């Protein structure tokens, strides 16, 4: 009761601040920064406390049945709406935090579907403030560098905005300019989020969100350093130098600082702009395949993964040779996968293809998730660990029923334990995969395509050169290991080839059925029309 009383007192105090807030300008003077931070923190405290109390007492005493599931979904939705409102008012890092949560498949769908609207809600900053950042970073006389700078931004995100410009040598570039005062606000906002997550855990031990705050803090720290983003961009360009379907804009290093990034201007439209894609004569499904192949190559082969592939960061650009190419933007958030993790993740996908439950659980223990390893096939392929379904096929009715019963027994504590146990690399690939999966659906492509591409690139990631040693024994052993590896590789390739063939035949059959129905309808109309003409 003492804890509940404290929650109520804190909630009441924070609510006063929350309900008496005034719209404030994003870029305020230093004397008002502290007050602004207190007001933002108070709103956060009120929102989180209200959500926790809602969960705790709405679900109190309910049994694990369909009624409980319905009530839980309603609480999820109410809580997600409160967080959405908080992010919309606080702006800045809160918008980014909301986007971060929306991109994670591990959160309830009520959160992801509600918070996804934050993707396009950043408020642009005045050009005067942006110009001052440019002067502070590039020099007082911008006319010595640029012929012109477009004052109207072509894009505005939660941490920076982008302006087109023309260099003195007529090269067209874009300037990504960080909003002023972000680092100070970041420290206060992250500290607030961390404190709140710890308070929630203290009041209600089964609700643990510190892993989420830690992951978000790491992501934000990366995204605020534009020099590191420039390095990431250069490295990504090198990784894809032999892939003509993927383009990474050139970086102008001499015009790049920690707060300003200058890069080549690339034409294109967002990857989810289906009207543009179709009007350009491009098959959206081909776009989806190239997209999946690019990110599969990053994850399984390069071990250097773009961590924020939302639609605004990927452009479809017309290309004379191939019809189109994809332009990858915003290279601030990258995860450099540990080599051991990358190889084991490739092994995991090989095991997922064959539904090798023993290997899956063995790798799960290695990743540190123990008893939750059995859910890995469900997370990545939509199959249970005991499923007999082909890769890309849905679960049977019996499997769905059994899974539903099993999931009912999971608590918030189980979910928290699972997420806390995941390595940071695993969280990155899960988040990236969730965003790619969403884009694949929007582009009208089958998830089977994604699964087959992942499986193929996982095999490529496992291909390694023999490890020559000074001893003939070790050389022969390495060669023999390589031969065995190649045989296994060919076996899996054959299986994937058959799966791809069956997938193609299935899609072709569907197309033929639709085509035949359309022909039959046309013939029927033609006969009906001629018959009516004959009668007249």
Q: What is the mean pLDDT of residues 83-111?
A: 80
pLDDT at residue 210 above 60?
yes
pLDDT at position 388: 72
pLDDT at position 315: 96
pLDDT at position 183: 74
Q: What is the mean pLDDT of residues 203-209?
A: 63
Active site residues: 308
Distances (CA, A) of 382 to 186, 295, 376, 407, 434: 37, 20, 9, 14, 13
Q: Which residue has the higher pLDDT, 285 or 470?
A: 285
pLDDT at position 512: 55
pLDDT at residue 363 above 50?
yes
Give the pLDDT band of residue 392 (cuts 50, 70, 90).
low
Q: Which residue has the higher pLDDT, 33 or 335?
A: 335
Q: What is the pLDDT of residues 25-38, one digit of tens each?
A: 344 344 455 666 67
pLDDT at residue 23 above 50?
no
Structure tokens at 502: 């069956």
pLDDT at residue 289 above 90?
yes
Percentage above 90 pLDDT, the chain: 34
pLDDT at residue 345 above 90?
yes
Question: Is the dihedral angle over the CA atoms 374, 379, 380, 386 positive or is it negative?
Answer: positive
For domain 126-179+225-265, the CATH class is alpha beta
Name the DSSP letter for residue 110. H
Give the pLDDT band of residue 474 (cuts 50, 70, 90).
very low
pLDDT at residue 400 above 50?
yes
Structure tokens at 275: 């009207």
Q: What is the mean pLDDT of residues 518-533?
A: 58
Name the pTM for this structure. Answer: 0.73
* Distance separating alpha carbons of residues 204 and 440, to the nearest angstrom: 38
The answer to whether 350 and 459 have CB atoms below 8 angstroms apart is: yes
pLDDT at position 505: 56
Give the pLDDT band of residue 24 (cuts 50, 70, 90).
very low
Give the pLDDT band of residue 473 (cuts 50, 70, 90).
very low
The answer to whether 122 and 162 have CB atoms below 8 angstroms apart is: no
* Distance separating alpha carbons of residues 185 and 6, to the nearest angstrom: 27
End-to-end CA distance of the chain: 89
The answer to whether 306 and 432 have CB atoms below 8 angstroms apart is: yes
Q: What is the mean pLDDT of residues 123-142?
A: 91
pLDDT at position 196: 73
Distances (CA, A) of 368 to 73, 113, 216, 363, 372: 30, 30, 21, 9, 9
């Amino acid at each position: 009761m003492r804890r509940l009383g404290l929650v109520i007192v804190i909630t009441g105090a924070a609510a006063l601040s929350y309900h008496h807030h005034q719209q404030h300008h994003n870029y305020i003077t230093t004397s008002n920064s502290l007050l602004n931070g207190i007001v933002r923190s108070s709103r956060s405290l009120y929102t989180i406390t209200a959500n926790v109390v809602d969960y705790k007492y709405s679900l109190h005493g309910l049994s694990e049945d369909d009624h409980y599931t319905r009530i839980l979904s309603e609480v999820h939705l109410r809580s997600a709406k409160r967080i959405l409102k908080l992010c919309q008012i606080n702006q800045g890092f809160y918008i980014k935090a909301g986007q971060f949560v929306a991109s994670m498949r591990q959160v309830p769908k009520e959160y992801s579907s509600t918070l996804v609207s934050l993707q396009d809600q950043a408020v642009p900053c005045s050009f005067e403030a942006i110009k001052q950042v440019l002067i502070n970073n590039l020099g007082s006389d911008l006319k010595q560098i640029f012929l012109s700078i477009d004052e109207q931004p072509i894009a505005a995100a939660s941490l920076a905005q982008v302006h087109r410009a023309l260099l003195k040598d007529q090269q067209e570039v874009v300037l990504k300019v960080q909003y002023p005062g972000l680092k100070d606000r970041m420290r206060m906002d992250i500290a607030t989020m961390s404190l709140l997550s710890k308070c929630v855990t203290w009041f209600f031990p089964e609700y643990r969100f510190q892993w989420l705050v830690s992951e978000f803090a790491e992501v934000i720290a990366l995204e605020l350093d534009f020099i590191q983003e420039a390095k990431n961009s250069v490295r990504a360009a090198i990784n894809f130098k032999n892939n003509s379907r993927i383009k990474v804009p050139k970086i102008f290093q001499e015009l790049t600082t920690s707060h300003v990034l200058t890069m080549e201007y690339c034409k294109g439209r967002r990857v989810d702009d289906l009207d543009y894609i179709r009007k350009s004569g491009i098959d959206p499904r081909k776009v989806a395949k190239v997209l999946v192949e690019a990110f599969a190559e990053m994850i399984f082969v390069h071990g250097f993964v773009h961590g924020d592939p939302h639609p605004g960061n990927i452009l479809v650009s017309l290309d004379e040779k191939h019809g189109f190419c994809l332009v990858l933007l915003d290279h601030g958030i990258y995860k450099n996968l540990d080599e051991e993790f990358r190889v084991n993740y490739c092994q995991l996908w090989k095991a997922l293809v064959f539904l090798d439950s023993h290997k899956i659980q063995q790798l799960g223990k290695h990743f540190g998730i123990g008893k939750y390893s059995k859910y890995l096939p469900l997370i990545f392929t939509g199959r249970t660990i005991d499923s007999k379904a082909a890769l890309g096929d849905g679960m049977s009715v019996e499997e769905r029923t059994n899974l539903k019963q099993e999931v009912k027994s999971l608590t918030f504590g189980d979910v928290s334990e699972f997420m806390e146990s995941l390595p940071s690399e695993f969280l990155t690939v899960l988040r990236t995969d969730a965003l790619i999966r969403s884009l694949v659906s929007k582009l009208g492509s089958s998830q089977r395509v994604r699964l087959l591409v992942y499986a193929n690139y996982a095999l490529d990631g496992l291909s390694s050169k023999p490890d020559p040693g000074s001893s003939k024994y070790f050389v022969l052993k390495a060669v023999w290991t390589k031969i065995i590896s190649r045989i296994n590789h060919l076996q899996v390739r054959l299986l994937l080839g058959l799966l791809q063939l069956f997938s193609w035949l299935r899609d072709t059959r569907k197309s033929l059925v639709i085509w035949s129905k359309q022909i039959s309808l046309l013939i029927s109309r033609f006969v009906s029309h001629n018959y009516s003409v004959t009668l007249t």
